[in-house]
Each structure stands twice: as structure tokens, then as C-alpha cells.
Amino acid sequence: MLFGKTIVVTGIASGIGARIGQLALALGADVVGLDVNAPASPTGEFVRLDIASAAEIEAVVKTLPARVDALCNVAGVSGVSGAQKTLAINFYGLRALTEAVAPRLREGGAIVNVASIAGYGWRANLERAKAFVAAPGFPDIAALLVEHNVPDGEGYPLSKELLLLWTQQAAHQPLFRGRGLRVNAVSPGPVTTPIFPEFRKLFGDPRVDDDIARVGRAGSAADIAPAALFLCSDGARWINGANLPVDGGLEASINATALGF
Ligand SMILES: NC(=O)c1ccc[n+]([C@@H]2O[C@H](COP(=O)([O-])OP(=O)(O)OC[C@H]3O[C@@H](n4cnc5c(N)ncnc54)[C@H](O)[C@@H]3O)[C@@H](O)[C@H]2O)c1
């Protein structure tokens, strides 16, 4: 499915990104992994990148292969370090990297954003999300947070709401659509990776346990990787601007509660 393709994966050092990198290699792709931390064992080529740094993004993108088939945006933080940092990594850095990599993506290439069920509220918070997404580049995040009264603990869900909104917007922007680049998202529910205890701290055990109980078990990185790589593949060539929940049915269960069916 991915034989001979070149795939750039952020967050390669741990959890879902590591698993995506391993599976892509096994399926015959060349993998370039980007992460602020070096992986314990190498998966393809590794380049260190703090995705929250505009200068690092500019320098690292110059070192990437001239022709890339897909970019998997997986790197992210849980939100325990505060809303400003969380938005810088999970949304503004991700978007800046994607815009910088776009010219290297071959025509018909793919971008896959790892969002989350935590971004479920993007429609309910649409005006706020539109305002954050409308700010270009790396804006003054602290000022935006004050302007929109965002408590520090809401940085993570907000970052994923922005990512889900931007995924749909980007799918129709000339930078991407003009060259047939598809922009999609996958939204995991709870996944047992090293970040997971921080989500328990952020959302509280009752909420996390309820999410798990709705679908019978937490997910694993191995549950997410095949879906992300499918969206990278030409098999997904007619899928664009979509969000694929990869959560064992959690979103459907939350919809059932919210919509009363
Ligand atoms: N684990 C879950 O329950 C869950 C659920 C939904 C969505 N997600 C999302 O999946 C993605 C991957 O999370 P995970 O569960 O594999 O967590 P993880 O902590 O195992 O992996 C995250 C990776 O991102 C890297 N990273 C963090 N900050 C970075 C930065 N500034 N620059 C570059 N790399 C950076 C880390 O070094 C790490 O390798 C995240 O975007 C997360 O929000 C996770």
C-alpha cells in the first residue's frame, strides 16, 4: 500500500507516532521521523524538531527530501503544561510545519492530522475556534487566550477543536487543494500511550473511565496507526477534509447521548 512512498511522521519518539512509523516501514515506506525527543530505537531517519519553534521548522524543512508523499502530524502534548504551550505545539506549530512541507508534497499527496475526541466541541464553540484559526502563523497566543476567556485547563480540547476546524478549511485552501493535496484527520478516543496518565489528571478519572466503559476498552497505538496510514495511501484518494473517529465507537456513543437516540 505504501511501498516506495516517503512519509514524514511527527511525534515519532513515542506512542502513536512511533507505531505509525514502524507500520509505515513494514509496509515498505521510507520514514522521516521528527520529534523534540530522540526515539529510543531508530525508525527510519530521525531529525530533531521542536514543532513550537518557527525557526526550527524553517531549518528542518530544508533538510527534508525534495519529494514527500505524506505528512502525518502526530506530535502533541496533553495540556498539563498550560494552554499557551499546548496551542503552540498542538495547533500553531502543526499548521506552520504543514504549510512549510506542502511545497515538497507530491501532487495528490496526503496530510493526516491526529486530532482527538477531545475536539468534539468544535461546532458548539465555532466562533471561538474560527477566531483562533483566523490568526496566521504563530500569533500572540497569550493575548488570544485572554481575549476569549480560555481557562488554562482548556488548552488541550481547544487545540483539537482548532485542528478539526482547520483540517476542513485547509482541504479547500489553494496551497493544498491547488495541487491535489488531501487534508484529513483521525480522532482517537483514550489510547494507552505514555501521555495517558496526564489525560487522567486533566480530565479526571470518572470522565476517562466513562469514555472507556462506553466502548469496552481503551485503544492502543496499534489501533490508530492503520487508520492514519490508510488516509496517507492512494486508497483514500477521494477522502478529503474528513475526520475519521478511531475510537471503538466512542463518538457515536457520545452523539447518541447528546442527540437523544
Ligand atoms: N493517547 C491518547 O489517549 C490520545 C487520544 C487522542 C489523541 N491523542 C493525540 O495523539 C497524538 C500522539 O499522542 P501519544 O498518545 O502518542 O502521546 P506520546 O506522549 O506517547 O507521544 C507524543 C510525542 O510528541 C512529541 N512531542 C511533544 N512535544 C513536541 C514538540 N514541541 N515538538 C516535537 N515533538 C513533540 C513527544 O516527544 C512524543 O514523542 C497527540 O497529538 C495526542 O494529542 C492521543
- The confidence score (pLDDT) of residue 199 equals 96
Is the pLDDT confidence value at 109 over 90?
A: yes
| DSSP state, residue 216 | S
Ligand 1 binding pocket mutation candidate from 191, 200, 251 (most atoms within 8 A of CB): 191
How many domains does the chain fold into?
1
Give the residue among 142, 110, 100, 148 at the shortest CA–CA distance from 239: 110
pLDDT, average across residues 98-117? 98
Is the pLDDT confidence value at 260 over 90?
A: yes
Cα–Cα dist 248/217, whole Å: 8
- What lines the ligand 1 site, CB under 6 Å? 10-11, 13-17, 35-37, 49-52, 74-77, 89, 114, 116, 188, 190-191, 193-196, 199
Q: What residues act catalytically?
A: 156
Average pLDDT, the chain: 97
Range of the domain at 124: 6-259
Ligand 1 center to 184 CA (angstroms): 18
Convert the pLDDT of each residue in 61-77 to its tens digit.
999 999 999 999 999 99
- The confidence score (pLDDT) of residue 151 equals 95
In a domain, 126, yes or no: yes
Cα–Cα dist 145/157, whole Å: 13
Sequence-distant (6+) residues with CB within 8 A of 151 are 83
Ligand 1 binding pocket mutation candidate from 35, 84, 167, 201 (most atoms within 8 A of CB): 35
Ligand 1 center to 194 CA (angstroms): 9
Cα–Cα dist 219/204, whole Å: 18
Convert the pLDDT of each residue in 134-189 to its tens digit.
999 999 999 999 999 999 999 999 999 999 999 999 999 999 999 999 999 999 99
Convert the pLDDT of each residue in 28-38 to its tens digit.
999 999 999 99
The predicted model scores a pTM of 0.98
CB 5 within 8 A of CB 21: no
Ligand 1 center to 161 CA (angstroms): 16
Sequence-distant (6+) residues with CB within 8 A of 135 are 144
In a domain, 159, yes or no: yes
The identity of residue 228, as a single letter, is A
Is the pLDDT confidence value at 1 over 90?
A: no
In a domain, 36, yes or no: yes
User: Strand pairing of 243-246 and 105-114?
Assistant: unpaired
Sequence-distant (6+) residues with CB within 8 A of 86 are 77, 78, 79, 155, 156, 158, 159
Ligand 1 binding pocket mutation candidate from 8, 14, 47 (most atoms within 8 A of CB): 14
CA-219 nearest atom, ligand 1 = 3
The kind and range of the H/E element at 69 are: strand 68-73
- The confidence score (pLDDT) of residue 168 equals 98
In a domain, 1, yes or no: no
CA torsion angle for 229, 234, 237, 240 (degrees, to 10)? 30
Q: Which three cell numbers, joined as nine digits, stand for 40? A: 529510543
Ligand 1 atom 42 nearest Cα: 76
Q: CATH number of the domain that 134 lies in?
A: 3.40.50.720
Ligand 1 center to 4 CA (angstroms): 26
